[in-house]
Structure 1
Amino acid sequence: MEEVDSIILHFLRQLNINIDDETKNITELPVHIIIEAASTCLSTINPSVKVTKNLPSGISQRIEVASQIASICKDLGYKNDVGYQTFLYHNECELRQVFMFLIERLPNEGKQLNTTLPLANQKSALKQDISNKIGEELKSMWIPPCCKPNTTNIGDYCYSDKTPTSSVTCLTDEQIIEKLLKIKEISQTNIIQPAATEPAQNIEQEVVVHKPETRPENKKSLKELKELAIVLRQKLDSLESEKNVMEVEFSQVQKSCERADADLKNVQNILSSIGITDIEADNVSDGLIERVQRNISSLHRQSEELTSRNLSLMVEIDKIASTMDLLEPERSRCRKILGNLKENAKALKDEYEKKEVLANQLKENYGKLRGGNKRSIYTKRILEIISNVDKQNMEIKKILDDTRQLQKEINTLEGQLDRCFSIADETLFRDAKKDDQAKKAYKLLALLHSECNTIVSLVNDTGTLARDIVDLEENIKTETAKRTEDTLRKIQADLTKIQEEN
């Protein structure tokens, strides 16, 4: 039975069921693996049958799943007794018979190959369609989405200068004099503001004139000093405002100079483009103006030609745009088809990668398996088992023939004994009427016959008892193999769970 279990486990591993390599007997399998194996076998035999492979947690759901699997096995033609207890509270013999039945019903390798051939043809046809669509897209003319030129407007720049506002704070007379001296230095260094030097000198003279008045030696009143400070602050504010105005004018003049330089560069570039390079030379020809006019007229003609050509191109672009608008639904339909084809190709690629990974895993698992797991070796073992069974059947047949022959001999001997006893009984009974010794012999013969009958009956009874003992031992072995105690424990545990659920 170990070889049968190894064959069953090998076929279950081929169906991608996670069974440990150390498992060598069916009884070592847990319940969820048994349910998964049975449902996988049923779905492989009949793909239209849908059975849950995962064992649910609830007891009632487990019983429903197991009873569904049992009913499907009966529909397939399983003749022995099968029910939910076969899978949930299994014993070795019944479970082995069920899996042997399911493995015999599994499809052959030839049928599996025939079923996979149409998928390969579909895959090649899909690849051909994808390549044809891509070739058509590459052969078609591509037109850029934006054909009209962009017009740019050149605007004027507005320059706005913010004049800083000076905040007048309360300053002492010495600080005012220092600021006036700084203003004088700035006015001397500034070239564009020559007029600002005179007020600064006047203010300096006034400050110099008034400076000795600020000393405590002159003994002027505080009111006059305050009035002098106010006058000086007013003059300082006026000078700062004039300075700011002059700075603004200076910045504007600089910007106008920069603009003039830029315009001059543009004019030089235009003249160089029309062929006039040496402008400042003394030997400029008298027909320079005529050349410039001719160049300008040629530029006008070229601009007119370009505008006419631009208009014709715009008309062509409008025509092409109208045709593109007409072809837009067809292009959108082709885009949708191409998108669907790309998605299908991506899905097929993912499926191919998954199957490739699965194939590599199966190859690794096949390499890890030791000798004796090949199909030919298993078939050889099965044939050896069948030959051994045939030999055992022949031996059993011989034993039965021998027992029949012995029974015939026993029956013939019993007949001979009965006939001999009847003859001896008749002769002794006749002689017992005349002779006393014959009477004793007749009594002894009757006693011997009765004792022999009791001995024969005892021998028969011992034989029947021995057979009954053998049968009882076999029944005990079968009952112990059924593991009724374990099943009773499981049933009690499930019953308690059901009571807790309710």
Structure 2
Amino acid sequence: MEEVDNILIHALKQVGTEVSEETGSIKQFTSELIVEAVVRCIRVIDPGLGSALPTFLPPGMSARFRVGMSLAQACQDIGYKGEIGYQTFLYSNEPEIRSLLMFLVEKLPRESAEASDQPTGKSVVLQKAIAAAIRAQLAVPWLPPNCRLPLHGETQSPGAQHNFHVQPLSLPHCTKGPGKKQLKGGQGSLIYMLEDYQRDVLPPVTAQPSHQASVVASILEQHTAELSAAQEWDNEWNTQGLLSRLTPQEYRSRKLARLRKRIEEQLRSAALPCPESAFGGPRSASDLSELLQAFRGSAPSDHILTKGTHFTHTQKFTFTQVRTAPRAQHKHAAPPILSGHQSESDMQLRQQEEQASLQQQFQQLSALPCLLSCVHGGCVWVQVLDELKQRELGNSEKEEKMQVKKKTIDLLPDADDNLPKLQAVVEASAKRVVHLASQWEKHRAPLIDEHRRLKEICSNQDLESSRKLSEIKSLHDKIRVSTEEAKKKEEIYKQLVTELENLPQDVSRSAYTQRILEIVSNIKKQKEEITKILSDTKELQKEINSLTGKLDRTFAVTDELVFKDAKKDESVRKSYKYLAALHENCNQLIQTIEDTGTILREIRDLEEQIETENSSKTVANLERILDDYKAIRQENSALAAKVREG
């Protein structure tokens, strides 16, 4: 029982029971220690049930009985089936207490289950330390501010509270050396300038927010954004990137190219003049157009020179003449219809005004931001390239038609002679086409077969590639799961190493291992001895049964033979009487031996019961019961006296 008691004491220490180092067995447990151990175990098993139970015995006897009954009821509620009552805790019995503590220790949650539910690693140790500090602070009784001592003021004074305010941060991202060597020209210089800015000008992260209280919130927000971006990239790569059969760099570059192309198309469509605007209609209300209009500044759209086709320029020139006539009438009081006999001074004045307006437009265009000029120039360049390609295609088609018409015109003067030649050429071409068709049919069949074969091979390759792609995805999933498991195991390993370092180093693991091996060997020897004793008992029982049967058969045969001769001879008759008496005496002797064995077994049982009663401290418990009875009578008499006095 010594090993069992050591295991129980170790488990009770882990749940928070204050067991002294001198206590080495359950026999040395006092009533107060038993109550504390049982309550600590119940609080771990069922916190809601154990929170209402005290960990100590009150001084009054009636309160002690109530606590004992509450503990007995709580043990029955969690599933204890043995006999239990208030006497189990107040008048402890070693076997009953051992069985109760063994049940409670077995009901405790396993460390493996707790480890699977909680995060592992160094964070667990930190969380345990934080929880211990919070529990220690919660255990301190609350006091009003006027009654607090300086120590209480440190632990119970409210700290500084701030709102969760986030500000954007600029974090330096370093670039490796080989990557910088590959960049050429302006990109390399730009990277070096950026590094110089980050090293010399960029303030630290803690100095970038306007308020010091926003540093932690901003760092947490930045870290969360980076984590979410990385997670989104992983999800996108696992769902769409693998299906594209590209490397991550190629997939990123293709995605970036698509995005740039889309932006160029949007900018190009936004930069083109709307047909309705030429006729004075409403403008487009798209966001991008509004953004470009904001980039252009406060200048009206009529003063901005844009690239357009010949048709748009014609429309603009036609309708602007109609719109500029009232404007000129409003400014210079000119007549609404311009006459052909206008003087040269009026023409010079108009030219000067037009030159001034063009100069103003030039100044406004030169004042536009650099971004607008780049965007507008790029859009115009793309538009010009498209028009050039379209015109080149149209020119090539027109050249082919022109060549055909030229050859036809050359043949027209000598039509009579050229018609038979053309007919002969056509017939030869027809024969050649027929010959080529027959040759094509000869080559077509194997080519079709080859096409079908290659198509089947391609389909098989597609199926094989899709199968391999599914295998790759499953392997990626397995790799991710294995990586997560490896991380968890690494964190568990670090946690166990940390806990091992925190454990006392004076305990030798080899001693425990040696002790466990000795216990196992002793159990094995005891099992072998029990098996040997059982086999010997079976052999003895078989031998006794065989001898008893042999004795009965021998007596029956001897009795029959002697009885036959006893009828004729008197001496044989006396022998028969002696034989019957001998048989009866032997039976009595055997019965006496069996009764003796039964009595010896009863004696051993009684001795074990006596030892059990001695271990249960019956006499000491009776004395304690008498003392408690006297204390209760004194309490009752004191209460009765108070009642009479009242």
TM-score, normalised with respect to structure 2: 0.39
TM-score, normalised with respect to structure 1: 0.49
The structure with the largest alpha-carbon Rg is 1
